[in-house]
Amino acid sequence: MPPRQFDGSRVRAVRRGKDLGQKELGAEVGVTGPAVARWESGQDFPKGEKLPAIAAALGQPLDVLFPHDGPPDLQLLRCDAGLSVAQAAAIIGTSRTPVSNAESGRRRLADAYVQPLAAAYEVTEAELLAAQDCSFGHRPRTSRDDQVSAPRTIGEKINYLLEHGYVSQEAPSDEEIARAVNAHAGGTAVTTDDIVALRTGAATEASDVVRAGLADALQVDAALFQDDAEVNPAARELLEAIRFLGSIHRGQILGLAARGNGGGLSAEMIANINDLVGELKHKLPEVPDGD
């Protein structure tokens, strides 16, 4: 899988919203139409270095269409630059081995490779070295680690729920969300493009009818979408609980049973547990599905 989160159904919905065919999208990113069809159906995933081109072809911000967890590692920097391992190796005049070893946390880059790779990835040398630390399991603290962050805007809330709220089922596509909102409204209140615009931040306003429909479509209390102010403590705890349960489902917490929140865990405490999960994610192997 690519280092960023890839949702084929969302790519399909955005592509259709742009009135773009699979063959046309494939031509934009250098693959065939059938390859795009396999991505969208979940049968295959694009290489990570293809994601910037896909996002550009669909007119979407990379971080919105293909989000990622935690600080960037070397693989993410390379892929975001649109480079394969072979292309990155060619830039520093070596075989693929030094690049692959550094990305997999086996051997750090030679000092002579840092500056040319940083330039190729369009980051500073300090950012490249920090990403290398992440590849070796050393996750730096950021200002985000020191506070409980919660989505504020309508788009941030939609994206948060889509990312963390569907741990055992496929998240609804933009088209499906629009259909559910319209069903709740009893008429045409939004289009698929309207949902895309909200999620990407291109639009920030929505009527009360649409906000109520979004809450119904995403199975949360209507109060969460009432305005774009900071969510209240109860809603914030709900959001943290959603993220926490998602972490458990993905196997990022080992040996910890979810016993509910009857013990009075605060939103801050749950957020701290989530931060620990983020630390573990960079140090522990992925747990296979079903284990």
Interacting residues of 270 by C-beta distance below 8 A, sequence separation 6+: 237, 240, 241, 243, 244, 261
Q: What pLDDT does 30 receive?
A: 94
User: What pLDDT score does 35 carry?
Assistant: 96
pLDDT per residue as tens, the chain (291 positions): 678 999 999 999 999 999 999 999 999 999 999 999 999 999 999 999 999 999 999 999 999 899 987 889 999 999 999 999 999 999 999 999 999 999 998 899 999 999 999 999 999 999 999 999 988 887 654 444 434 456 778 888 888 788 766 655 678 899 999 999 999 999 999 999 999 888 887 888 899 999 999 989 988 877 778 877 655 566 666 666 666 655 555 444 433 333 334 334 445 545 555 555 555 444 444 444 444
The label of the residue with tokens 């429909």 reads 213
Q: Are 225 and 211 in contact (CB under 8 A)?
A: yes
Sign of CA dihedral 197, 214, 65, 242: positive
Question: What dihedral do alpha carbons 193, 195, 196, 199 form, nearest 10°?
Answer: 160
User: What pLDDT score was predicted for residue 55?
Assistant: 95
What topology is assigned to 8-65 in CATH?
Answer: 434 Repressor (Amino-terminal Domain) (1.10.260)
Return the pLDDT at 149: 55
Q: Which long-range contacts does 175-180 make (Cβ < 8 Å, 24+ apart)?
A: 175/13, 175/16, 175/17, 176/13, 176/217, 177/214, 177/217, 177/218, 180/213, 180/216, 180/217
Q: State the pLDDT at residue 253.
A: 41
pLDDT of residue 92: 96
CB 277 within 8 A of CB 286: no
Distance CA 39, CA 150 (A): 31
Provide the CB-side half-sphere exposure for 196 (13 A, CA): 20
Tokens of 76: 């993410």
Instruction: Determine the pLDDT at residue 144.
Output: 41
Please tell us whether the domain made up of 74-135 is placed in CATH 1.10.260.40.
Answer: yes
Supply the pLDDT for residue 21: 95
Structure tokens at 107: 């051997």
